[in-house]
Amino acid sequence: NHAVPIPGRTHFQRAMPSSVGLWAGAFAESLLDDIQLLQGTFRLIDQCPLGSAASYGVSIPIDRQYCTDLLGFNAVQNNVLYANNSRGKFEAAVLHALVQIMNDLSKATTDIIIFSAPEFGYFVLPEKFCPGSSLMPQKRNPCPLEIIRAKSAVLQGLLFQNLEIVRALPSGYNRDFQETKRPVMQGLEITGMSLRVFFQILSELQVDKEVCIDAFTPELFATDQVLKLTSSGVPFRDAYKQVAKNPENVSENDPVANILSKKHLGATGNLGLSISNAKIQDAQHWVDLEQKKWVDVLENLRV
C-alpha cells in the first residue's frame, strides 16, 4: 500500500497529495530516531556505581574497575558523590526516551482513529480491536488506540514525577531516591505493552484504495500547478496568484501519477526505504550484541 495516495494535510486542512507509504514511513523514521535516543541513554547509564557506598567511598582497597569489568559495565562511574547525585537523573533519561516513543504512538493512533472514521474511510480497523458501545448498538470504537494515546500522557506524568522528586535534593544519598524506581518500571511496562498492541493493530490494518483515491479534489494539486508554472518561467508570485484565483480548476487530476512523479529522496515517489531498512538492521545488530554481552556476563558470574 505504499503507493496508495491519500490527501496530505497541514493545519489539518487538505493541502497536497501524500501517500500511505509516506505517512507510515514518517513514523518508521521517527521510531528509528527513538532507538537512537534509547542507545544514547543506554551509553549514559552503562556505568558501574559500585564502591561509591553512601556517597563518599570506603576505606578499604577495593578495585572498582575489576567489579565494572566483571559485571559487564562499559565504564566506572568515577566520582563517588556523583554516583549518588545521578540517581533520578539517569532514570529521567530513560523516561525521556520512552516519552518520545509514546508521543510517536500517540500521533500515529490519532491519525489512524481519524482516517478510519466513516467521514474519511481511508483505513479499516480490524473489528476484534474495536469493541462496541455500552449504549449505542451500532458503534464500534477504537478503544485500544485511544488507551495508547492516553498512556502517552501517563508517561509524561511519570517523567515529571521523577524530575520533581530529585529537583531540590541536597548532594549525597537521600531516601527520596527510592521513589524514582517505580516510575521507570511503570514506564517500561507501559511502553512495551503499547508497542506490542500498536504493531498488532497496524499489521492487520486495511487500506481502502478506492476511498483514498476518491478523496482527491482538484485543489490538492494547486501547489504542484504553481511549481509547474514556475518551472516554465512564470515568477512564483504570479503563478501563485494565478492558481489562487481558481484552485478548483487545476487540470491535473491523477493522484497516483502525482505521487509517483516526485522522485527526490524522501518524497512519495522515492521513500528511501533502503535507508530505513539499513537503520533497522544496525539497531538489531546493536541489540544482539548487547544481549550476548549480558548473557556472557551472567554465565561468567555463575562460574
Catalytic residue among 11, 59, 134, 232: 11
264 is catalytic: no
Question: If residue 6 lies in a helix (H) or strand (E), which one and from where to where?
Answer: strand 5-10
CB 138 within 8 A of CB 146: no
* CA–CA separation, 163 and 154 (whole Å): 14
232 is catalytic: no
Q: At what angle do helices 89-115 and 143-166 cross, to 10 degrees?
A: 160
Q: Which residue, among 5, 36, 3, has the nearest Cα to 283 in the 3D structure?
A: 36
Catalytic residue among 18, 133, 194, 203: 133
Q: Which residue, among 87, 89, 83, has the nearest Cα to 57 in the 3D structure?
A: 83
Compute, in degrees rounded to 10, the torsion defined by CA atoms 288, 294, 296, 302.
-150
- Catalytic machinery residues: 11, 133
